[in-house]
A and B are shown apart, each in its own frame.
Chain A
Amino acid sequence: MNFIKKSPWILHYDGSSCNGCDIEVLACLTPLYDVERFGVINTGNPKHADILLITGSVNEQNIPVVKQLYEQMAEPRVVVAVGICAATGGIFSECYNVVGGADKVLPVDVYVPGCAARPEAVIDGVMRALAILEEKQKTARCKKGTQEGAGV
């Protein structure tokens, strides 16, 4: 039985967003959308998180921060880029300090479009990420199995 789909814990990081997407992400926690129905918890700790939600584009200043957050997360993990800025840099893509979307630094699994992304879209993105998370866990287990087999 795979429980990772039933209890996704999310780490939310604001790259250089205008805060529009961040407010929509937090709106998911409100009584109207209540993502805790799906077992989602908004953690502030990468070591507890399964899903990294990135809003806003990545800039020169926060590349090491984003990388470190991702590295501190326990396997299996997925990255969801929320909003058009996290996907491509969006309206900020021409700025002198902006590198581009989150995929310039991290392996992004799901892109949630929108400016700002609506809470429904964010929830849908997270649910799609869960399918990928499950897949990753399966392949990680297979790898572990073959390694142990080779060891014998």
Chain B
Amino acid sequence: MIALEILAIIILTPLVGGLLTGADRVISARMQGRKGPPVLQPFYDVFKLFQKESIEVNTMHRFYVYISIIFVIFTVIIVLLGGDVLLAVFALTLGSIFFVLGGYASNSPYSLIGSERELLQMMSYEPMLLLASLGLYYVNNSFYIKDIISGDTPAILFLPGIFAGFVFILTFKLRKSPVDLSMSHHGHQEIVKGITTEYSGKDLAIIEITHWYETVLVLAFVYIFFAVKDPVSHVWAVLACVVVYFLEILVDNGSARVKWQLALKSSWIVTGIVGAVNLVVISLFR
């Protein structure tokens, strides 16, 4: 039974992630007054990349991408099966680290800049991810998502600050402007394509699929904040995910890319203020 569930997660997650990305591209185009590509465009892109030649810079370079997707899939399975939040955060970090190593392995200047920027982005969002898991533990006395989403009151009521901070760092994880420093979906010029510069064909397709998994993963985290025992709350949770994703698209289209200094500073300030204050406040009331 659990094997079937895992198989379903592995297959269905990228489908949902790809559709979300496709919807994102259509909505972005409409915001810019364009018609935009079909909703299935991300799938066309990935299937095309699978049919193309993969240029090999060196063997390790490609290896890291595949290791990275394995860890991200592992994280998705943990989260969607209701596992440990803390383990999920650490496994996700490991996935990102392997992706960064892939960038370093290629030895191309653009990839190196991309890797360094990816590390800076990780420094920006990691503290908030950890604070969010700590906050969820504080509220429910359990790191297990299964327990958190079967409580009586949604976590958002206790953790509005942590949720706000989490939505802020989602922009990093979803690779949206203004903080899409290491690998942007817009512009497509070398420096903003960062780590992916030296990848082509199948490897680039794998990177794209990894991003689909990550998109679903971060939205699953949003879901955790809203879902409780009551089945109606799950509808609200899905709605919250949709609203958050739409807000991310809006911010993406409405802002220019910032320098890394500002990205790092702002995320730490937000983490420090809303995240830490929220934790202190709930610890006082317990």
Q: Which A residues have a C-beta under 8 Å from some C-beta of B?
A: 1-4, 6-7, 31, 34, 36-39, 41-45, 47-48, 50, 72, 74-76, 137
Please state if A44 and B193 are interface contacts (CB–CB under 8 Å). yes
| A37-B36 contact in complex given A3-B47, A47-B198, C-beta closer than 8 Å | yes
Shortest C-beta distance, A34 to chain B (Å), equals 4
Please state if A36 and B34 are interface contacts (CB–CB under 8 Å). yes
Shortest C-beta distance, A35 to chain B (Å), equals 10
Please state if B34 and A48 are interface contacts (CB–CB under 8 Å). no
Shortest C-beta distance, B106 to chain A (Å), equals 10
- Count residues on chain B whose CB falls below 8 Å from chain A CBs: 31
Contacts of A76 in B (CB 8 A): 52-53
Shortest C-beta distance, B235 to chain A (Å), equals 33
Please state if B44 and A3 are interface contacts (CB–CB under 8 Å). yes
Give the dominant DSSP class at A's interface.
loop
Which single residue of chain A is at the shortest CB-CB distance from B188?
A43
Please state if A47 and B55 are interface contacts (CB–CB under 8 Å). yes
| A36-B36 contact in complex given A4-B48, A6-B44, C-beta closer than 8 Å | yes
Q: In whole angstroms, what is the CA distance A42 to B190 when docked?
A: 12
Please state if B34 and A31 are interface contacts (CB–CB under 8 Å). yes
| A3-B48 contact in complex given A44-B188, A74-B53, C-beta closer than 8 Å | yes
Shortest C-beta distance, A151 to chain B (Å), equals 19
Shortest C-beta distance, B173 to chain A (Å), equals 22
Q: In whole angstroms, what is the CA distance A76 to B49 when docked?
A: 11
Please state if A47 and B200 are interface contacts (CB–CB under 8 Å). yes
Please state if B193 and A36 are interface contacts (CB–CB under 8 Å). no
Contacts of A45 in B (CB 8 A): 188-190, 193, 197
Q: In whole angstroms, what is the CA distance A50 to B48 when docked?
A: 10
Shortest C-beta distance, B60 to chain A (Å), equals 17
* A/B interface sample: 26 pairs, CB < 8 A: A4-B48, A4-B51, A7-B44, A7-B45, A7-B48, A31-B32, A31-B34, A34-B36, A36-B29, A36-B36, A36-B37, A37-B36, A38-B37, A42-B188, A44-B189, A45-B193, A45-B197, A47-B197, A47-B198, A47-B200, A48-B193, A48-B200, A72-B55, A74-B55, A76-B52, A137-B51
Contacts of A43 in B (CB 8 A): 188, 193
Please state if A74 and B188 are interface contacts (CB–CB under 8 Å). no
Which single residue of chain A is at the shortest CB-CB distance from B40?
A6
Q: In whole angstroms, what is the CA distance A7 to B48 when docked?
A: 7
Please state if A37 and B37 are interface contacts (CB–CB under 8 Å). yes
Shortest C-beta distance, A130 to chain B (Å), equals 11
Q: Of B33, B41, B54, B193, which is within 8 A of A74 by CB?
A: B54
Shortest C-beta distance, A87 to chain B (Å), equals 27
Q: In whole angstroms, what is the CA distance A74 to B50 when docked?
A: 12
Does B99 have its Cβ within 8 Å of any Cβ on chain A?
A: no
Contacts of B36 in A (CB 8 A): 34, 36-37
Contacts of B199 in A (CB 8 A): 47
Q: What 1/0 flags go to B12-42 for Cβ under 8 Å of A?
A: 0000000000000100010011111110010
Please state if A44 and B190 are interface contacts (CB–CB under 8 Å). yes
Please state if B37 and A74 are interface contacts (CB–CB under 8 Å). no
Please state if B51 and A74 are interface contacts (CB–CB under 8 Å). no
Contacts of B193 in A (CB 8 A): 43-45, 48
Shortest C-beta distance, A32 to chain B (Å), equals 9
Contacts of B200 in A (CB 8 A): 47-48, 74
Q: In whole angstroms, what is the CA distance A120 to B283 when docked?
A: 64
